Structure 1
């Protein structure tokens, strides 16, 4: 026999939990000491381990109680239903994860200007894939380049670098576009453009035209950048090209 204090350690639960299990008749002690302390056997320990396992895979205590009390319980059906539930939760949590990454990356771009209104706007946006609208009009030579585009919901290094570069550019917009700090950011953008999109100049020109149109940007599900940011970026890039040796 195990005293409740010993049993809790073996089962990895608290005394409070064991008392609650007793109260709802999920796991009752074999007997009690003269002092009223609960006593358990190896049989109860195995049952406790099963209860903890079923909790781990997502079953609720009420369900577990019914499962353990019935000699004719359809375990296969229950586990199949639980798997279906877990998969749906996994999909739901993945969407929440993507939304949170998008919001965090949005703050990286917009900084202190990233207000609650923008958060709600982005959270409620259409969930369609980026650039899935009239894909055949984009003049892409290699469709794989779409995977190189910055994804606000991603944590891949390429996306994070693009997001950081745009965020830095916006942060220092108070400087003139020919400022050395701005030009260093533009230089890195140009190098990265060559690394990620070599030979796709026609596609990039088309994408930039889309970017400059708020309506088209929305249709293609692109992250909403302020027009003054885009205009500043364009001026800085043209200055950068004019001053290449």
Structure 2
């Protein structure tokens, strides 16, 4: 048998934890020294490993006690119940990740965080998942299976969404300079490149998206992050200027 300090050294479990296990009757020492120090044998060490393993799976000490005492315990049902619990917790963590990402993207776009606004967006997204899918399928007759995954999501931290957020934030920053400003036209060029990447050159799908994007009502139905109408109008005007300028340059080279 070994002392409680040696158990701590071998397993990493603290003396305080071992004493707590003893107090609640979960792990009783095999004996004590003449000086009153707890001693543990091979069977106690094995049980301690089982306790720590079940703890790592998320079981409470009370549940672990029941599972280890009852030889006829229904392990399958217990594990199945724990798996369902973990899946629910995972979904909560995923939602928290999306909320935090949304707040960070909101700050990048607006220079401030409107928690109430993000809460509204999240609530809308949760309550209208099926309506959103149905709406997108109605609007995008071609490639509708992929469109839900392709569209930028304010609560997503993927590189494409982050770039869209950055481009939109830059547009807002330079709007006062006018549609013909070099900074604005550079941003428009990249937006059009992103459009080509997103829709793989499918003009019909691209045009359908921008028709939705330009409408506040349709954007809301599609679950897109709301953009102020003046920003949308500016984007459209700056894009028209860019395309006309490109056409003149091409014509001049002929």
1:1-245 correspondence to structure 2 within 5 Å:
1-112=1-112, 114-127=113-126, 128=129, 131-143=132-144, 146=147, 147-244=149-246, 245=249
Relative to the length of structure 1, the TM-score reads: 0.89
- Give CA-to-partner distance per residue, 1:153-206, whole Å, 9 cap, x none: 333322222222112222333332221111111111112212222443333333
Q: Which is richer in helix?
A: 2
CA deviation after TM superposition for structure 1 residue 139, in Å: 4.6
TM-score scaled to structure 2, two decimals? Answer: 0.86
Structure 1 residues 164 and 136 mapped into 2: Cα distance closer, same or farther (>3 Å)? same
Structure having greater relative contact order (Cα 8 Å, sep ≥ 6)? 1
Aligned length: 244
Give the drift of 1:109. Answer: 2.2
> 2-side partners of 1:67 and 1:234: how far apart?
65
Quote the offset at 1:144 in angstroms.
5.5
Mapped to 1, the partners of 2:77 and 2:132 lie a distance apart of 41
Whole-Å separation in 2 of the counterparts to 1:181 and 1:194 = 20
Which stretches in structure 2 are left out of the alignment for 5+ residues? 250-254
The structure 1 segments of at least 4 consecutive aligned residues displaced by more than 6 Å after TM superposition are none
8 A Cα contact 1:133 1:220, kept in partner:
no
Tell me if structure 2 keeps the 8 A contact 1:183–1:236: yes
Instruction: Spell out, residue by residue over 1:197-239, the C-alpha distance to the aligned partner (whole angstroms, 9 max, x if none).
Output: 2443333333323223322211111111122221221222122
SS at match of 2:242: helix
